[in-house]
A and B are shown apart, each in its own frame.
Chain A
Amino acid sequence: MKSTLLVGALLTAMTATSALAQAIKLADVAELSGGGATVGTNWKNGIDLAIEEINAKGGVLGRKLEVTHADSQSNPGVARAQVQKALDAEPYVLLGPGYSGSVKVTAPLAAEAGIAQIMGGEAAELTQAGNKFLFRTSFGQQSSMPKVAKYIHDEMKAKTVAVVWVNNDFGRGGRDVVVKELDRLGSKVVADLSTEAGQADFAADVGKIKAANPDAVFVYLNEEESARILKELKRQGVTAPLMGETTLIGQKVIELAGDAANGARGHVGLTTDAPVDLIKAFREKFSKKYNYVPDHNGLKGYLAVYMVKATTEKMGKVDPKKFADTLHGLTIKAADEPGILMDVTFSDTGDIDRQSFLVEVVEGKQVVKQVLPKVK
């Protein structure tokens, strides 16, 4: 009797140990402080929410997910060091960073380690360097900017456009594509203004826009700077319609800019206001857990974890070496994996194809004006 009990106790202990050992380890490096704190905090919370849900339903292939979060301080140098540290612990998949500049300097490290990296960066060049381990959670600029330029030309009927962009990898990438597309369509860029990351005072930049008197203004800055320039545009009485991307009309921007955000329009790959039931449910769960309405970065973090789940279940095993190969060319349908929220296809370069939205800020709320379908 005594020996049976002993064997039982030993077996229980062993099972417990192996269950612990079997947890699938993910590493997240994000902008938890510094200029990108809004981006990184949403991204992190999205990840935590997804992991909590998946683990509550028994994990992936019966194994729990675990994640460690590290702060890049919105600084590419720090991001590189944090990613190196995270890779040394041999995670299954690397999540983040969100800033394109940080992704650019960390992607070679993950590729060298043979670990798939699912990130939030949107700069066009990221997936054009032949990296076989890098995956997006949102549109790259080469997919979104042509849609933006087309909207400015066709729908806003703008013959002259002022382009304001932030002088970093993200801003320059978007600016290059949109200026080329506007030129191709026949809209003239009458002011091409670069601004600095973290810039506080936009009076002079807005003065230049006013002097150029364009039919439309394309604003491509990070969230906080977007809010500041929106306030300044209102302060100086600029009435030309404003067009941007997710960063111009995100929740945080609306909160910071207040009235000044009204009327701004943006092409949005992901929005928590999308007329999609699964996204509405996500927004509700997130708001309940964190007491605030997430922006698209919350969605990106959430999707990143479900990309891991869907890919792993497709492989039928946890294999970090085969992960990237499996995700290339994969289509994940929301009907099969509700956590992916909308049907999505990954290209061989790690870019995504998904439906997107044209959003306008009306009385402090994002209102979806048009749904733009998947390209293929």
Chain B
Amino acid sequence: MSNLFDLLVAGLATGAIYALVAVGFTLLWQTSQTINFAQGEFVMLPAFLMLAAMHVGAPFWLAIILGILLSMILLGLAFKLLLVDPMMRHGVLPLAIATMALAIGIKEAVKQFFSAEASPFPSIVPTGDISILGHAVSLQSIGVLVVAILAVLGLTTLLNRTSLGHQMQAAAQNPTVARIIGVPVERMILLTFLINAFLVALASLLITPIYLAKFSSGEVLGQAAFIAAIVGGFNQVRGAIAGGLLIGVLDNLAAAYVSTQYRAAVPMIFLIAVILFRPQGLLGRAEERTV
């Protein structure tokens, strides 16, 4: 039983990170019909930007700030202006393929500049345990969960409770009408790209101490987050959150109770089942667009 509790906590912590990445997937899809297959690499890169900042002498806290800012410039602004905007007019498919190419480009560039070897990455949460309901739970797991939950709460508050959020919703649901009533649609779309870049940088900060900084570490993450987004509902932020947590827990339970060899297969089988029986995702709604 204690084993199950430990597995659930570890699964939720991993799942919370998947959720952050999956939310980014849905945000970009909602506002600009971008399926970003480089999302995993977007999570891998900020850790290296932070490592580079520390390498030139910045303390860890400053490296985090610089890493997040640089990520927002490179993975938000530059990604939209240099890749999404020019490719968008050719349709969704060429853009999706362009993001695949970008994924390869980022991976190879990191391999070239930093080496193919893994590097250690400091954790923002100290190591140690606290006792919850008689179970020892690691501070790291709790830290990851807390930061991820705060980020998601902040995002949903922004989207649902502020004028800016309402304008973003309007831009996503019906850009033409939104434009007529004076919503700066282009700026709202850019904002979602910046939010996505912030979320992936945060995910990078949380996951890299566990997975280590390595050029290839985005592959697993990108795939898990993509599955999470589809399972939860590609057109719902809350669907992506639920999907992320579910896939995290499912992955851990599968590894423990099915077999390590088939752990990767279990979320895939679940994905197929969802696509067959509930194609809009667990929390998604058919043919609706909202952020």
A-side residues, CB < 8 A to B, are 32-34, 37-38, 41, 167, 193-196, 198-201, 203-205, 207-208, 210-211, 224, 227-228, 231-232, 234-237, 252, 255-260
Are the C-beta atoms of B138 and A194 separated by less than 8 Å? no
Can you name the residue of chain A whose Cβ is closest to the Cβ of B122? A258
Distance between Cα atoms of A34 and B115 in the complex (Å): 10
Interface residue from B117, B136, B254 paired with A38 (Cβ < 8 Å): B117
Measured between beta carbons, the chain B residues less than 8 angstroms from A205 are 255, 260
Q: A196 touches which one: B3, B6, B119, B261 (CB < 8 A)?
A: B261
Check if A204 sits within 8 Å of B138, measured CB to CB: no
Q: Known interface pairs A195-B260, A211-B3. Does A204 touch B129 (Cβ–Cβ under 8 Å)?
A: no
Decide: A193 near B6, CB < 8 A? Known: A201-B210, A235-B127. Answer: no
Partner of B14, one of A199, A203, A231, A259: A203
B211 contacts A200, CB within 8 Å?
yes
Closest to A200 in B: B211
Scan residues 110-161 of chain B and give those whose CB is less than 8 A from a CB of chain A.
111, 115-120, 127, 129, 136, 138, 140-141
Enumerate chain A residues within 8 angstroms of B3, measured Cβ to Cβ: 207-208, 210-211
Give min CB distance, B32 to chain A, whole Å. Answer: 30
Chain B residues near A232: list those with CB within 8 A: 210
A235 adjacent to B6 (CB under 8 Å)? no
- Which residue of A41, A203, A231 contacts B11 across the interface (Cβ within 8 Å)? A203
Q: B116, B119, B138, B254: which contacts A34 (Cβ < 8 A)?
A: B116
Chain B residues in 8 Å Cβ range of A260: 127
- Complex: how many Å from CA A228 to CA B214? 12
Give the CA-CA distance A287 to B111 in the complex, in Å.
23
Q: How far is the CA of A200 from the CA of B119 in the complex (A)?
A: 14
Q: Is the CB of A256 within 8 A of B6?
A: no
A224 / chain B contacts, CB cutoff of 8 Å: 118, 212, 214
Q: A205-B260, A210-B6, A211-B3 are known contacts. Are A231 and B118 too (CB-CB below 8 A)?
A: no
Give the A-binding residues of B (Cβ under 8 A): 2-3, 6-7, 10-11, 13-14, 111, 115-120, 127, 129, 136, 138, 140-141, 209-212, 214, 216-217, 220, 251-256, 260-261, 263
Q: Which 6 A-B pairs have the closest CB atoms?
A: A204-B255, A203-B10, A37-B116, A211-B3, A33-B116, A204-B256
* A-B residue pairs in contact (CB < 8 Å), sample of 30: A41-B115, A194-B261, A196-B261, A198-B216, A199-B260, A200-B210, A201-B14, A201-B211, A201-B251, A203-B6, A203-B7, A203-B13, A203-B14, A203-B255, A204-B10, A204-B255, A205-B260, A207-B252, A210-B2, A210-B3, A210-B6, A211-B2, A235-B138, A235-B141, A236-B10, A236-B136, A236-B138, A252-B117, A256-B120, A256-B212
Nearest opposing residue in chain B for A35, CB measure: B216
Do residues B7 and A193 form an inter-chain contact, with CB atoms below 8 A?
Answer: no
- CB–CB B261/A33 < 8 A: no
B260 contacts A196, C-beta separation under 8 Å: yes
Is the CB–CB distance between B115 and A37 below 8 Å?
Answer: yes
Chain B residues with Cβ below 8 Å from A37 are 115-117
Q: Is the CB of B116 within 8 A of A208?
A: no
A201 to B220 CA separation, bound complex (whole angstroms) = 10
A204–B220 alpha-carbon span in the complex (Å): 16
- Could you tell me the distance in whole angstroms from the C-beta of A52 to the nearest C-beta in chain B? 22
Q: Is the CB of A259 within 8 A of B260?
A: no
List the B residue with the shortest CB-CB distance to A235.
B138
Q: Please, which residue of chain B has its CB at the minimum distance from the CB of A37?
A: B116
* B212→A203 contact, CB < 8 A: no
**Which residues of the partner chain B approach A252 to less than 8 Å between Cβ atoms?**
117
Other contacts beyond A34-B116, A232-B210: 15, CB < 8 A: A33-B116, A38-B117, A195-B260, A200-B217, A200-B220, A201-B252, A203-B6, A203-B14, A204-B252, A207-B256, A210-B6, A227-B120, A231-B209, A236-B136, A259-B127
Distance between Cα atoms of A257 and B122 in the complex (Å): 10
Instruction: Chain B residues near A211: list those with CB within 8 A.
Output: 2-3
**Residues of A with C-beta under 8 A to B255:** 201, 203-205
Nearest B residue to A33 via CB reads B116
Q: With the chains together, A258 CA to B126 CA distance in Å? A: 13
Check A204 against B120 for contact (C-beta < 8 Å): no
Give Cα distance in the complex from A37 to B14, angstroms. Answer: 26
Closest B-chain residue to A193, C-beta based?
B260
Which residues on the B side are within 8 Å of A34 (C-beta)?
116
**Cα A46 to Cα B220 with chains together (Å):** 33
